[in-house]
Amino acid sequence: RASARRHSRDIAVPADLDAPWRVQLGAAQFARSCAACHGEPGRGQSPLALSMRPRPQYLPAVLGAFDARSLFWIVRNGAKFTAMPAWPQRDQGDEVWSMVAFLRQMPRMDAARYAGLASGVEAGTAMVAANPRTPYAVLDADEGPREEFSYTVPAAAFRSGAGDCTACHGEDGAGRADGMAPNLTLQSPTYLAEALGSFASGARPSAIMQQVAVSLTPQDIERLAARNGDRRIARPGGTVAGDALGARIASEGVPARGVAACSSCHGIEGASPAGFPRLAGQNPIFLAQQMQLFDAGVRGKTVGYDPMAAITHRLTSAERAAVVRHYASLPAGARD
C-alpha cells in the first residue's frame, strides 16, 4: 500500500474520473476479469480463489484504504509475487482509469446496483442481488481473517467472457445509455469481423476487447459480426445537437492544414476492403475517446490505410469536439 502510494504520487487523475460511462465500463470488466478472485457485491470468494497464496483480498471490504492514484498504479502494474496480473495493454491508461472509477464506488454499491452496471440487464436478473450471504468452511484450517476475505455463499465463479457483448454493447448491439461502447449495428459484418481480428492480434490495442476476441473461434466471429452488422439501430441515450463547424469539416475538411473532408473516407461504401467505419449516429463518448487515442498515437487500426493519427494532430481540440457532435447528431444509417 505504501509502495503504491509512493510510486503513484505524481500521476495525474482525469477530471472525468467519476463519469457514469467510466463506472459502467469498469463494472463490466471487473465482472469478467476480477470478480472470480476478488468477489463482488452480493457474492463472496470461491474456495479456489481463497486457496491461492497469497490470497486475493475481498475488494469491497478493503478498497477504502487506497486512493485513486494508488489504485491506478496497482491495476496497471499488477502486484509482484502474487497472481495479480498487470493490465495487458500498458498504453491504454484510459481503460485503467475506468476500472479505477468503478473500484472507488464499489464499496458503497449494493448487489442490485452492481448487477445492473455489470450485466447490462435489469438489476438482479443476471447476478445474485438480494440473496443473503452465509458463511462456508474449508478443510484447510489456515483461513485468512474474515474481515479481509469473504468465505461466503453465494460466491463468485470463474467464468468465460467469450461472446459476452451485451454487458457493454447492450442487448441489441446499439450500446447502453450513458455507456461508452460503440454502436455495433452501424458497421458492416466485414468491418466488425476485421475489428475483432485486430483486437485479437493486438493491432488495435485494448485489454478489454482483446480478452474477449482471443477466445473467439473464426466461426464465433462470423456469427457475432452477422448478428450485429448492418442493422443500423439508433443508440439509446437521447439525441445530440448538431454542430455547424463539425458539419463543415466533415464535408470540406480544413484545406489550409491539409485535412481532407471526413466524408471522403467515412461516407463511401467499399473505400477499403473492410470499409472505413460508419460514423453517423455513433456514440459521442466513444467517438471522442477514439479521437484522443488517435491523437496520442495509441489507437491502432483495423483497416490497412489509416490517416487518422495525422488528421487528429492537425485539428484543434475544439474542432475534434465539433466533428464528434456532428456525427453523433446524425440518424443511425444516414449517409455520413
Give domain limits for the chain. Answer: 2-153, 166-329
CATH fold of 2-153 reads: Cytochrome Bc1 Complex; Chain D, domain 2 (1.10.760)
Report percent pLDDT > 90 for the chain.
Answer: 56
Mean pLDDT of 42-64: 89
Q: What is the pLDDT of residue 56?
A: 94
Q: Grid coordinates 487506497 are at which residue?
A: 66
pLDDT of residue 128: 47
pLDDT at residue 28 is higher than 90 = yes
- The average confidence (pLDDT) of the chain is 87
Cα–Cα nearest to 281, from 165, 175, 169 = 175
pLDDT tens per residue across span 92-151: 779 999 999 999 999 999 998 999 999 875 444 444 445 566 777 665 556 777 778 888
- Looking at domain 166-329, its CATH architecture is Orthogonal Bundle (1.10)
Q: Which residues of 20-48 are buried (b: 16+ CB within 10 A; e: fewer)?
A: ebbbbbbbbbbbbbbbbbbbbbbbbbbee
Distance of CA 305 to the CA centre of its chain: 25
- Note the pLDDT of residue 127: 47
- Can you tell me the distance from the alpha carbon of 305 to that of 200, in angstroms, rounded to the nearest whole number? 19
Q: Would the pLDDT of 160 be above 60?
A: no
pTM greater than 0.95: no
On the question of pLDDT at 214 being above 60, the answer is yes
Q: Is 107:63 a contact under the CB 8 Å cutoff?
A: yes
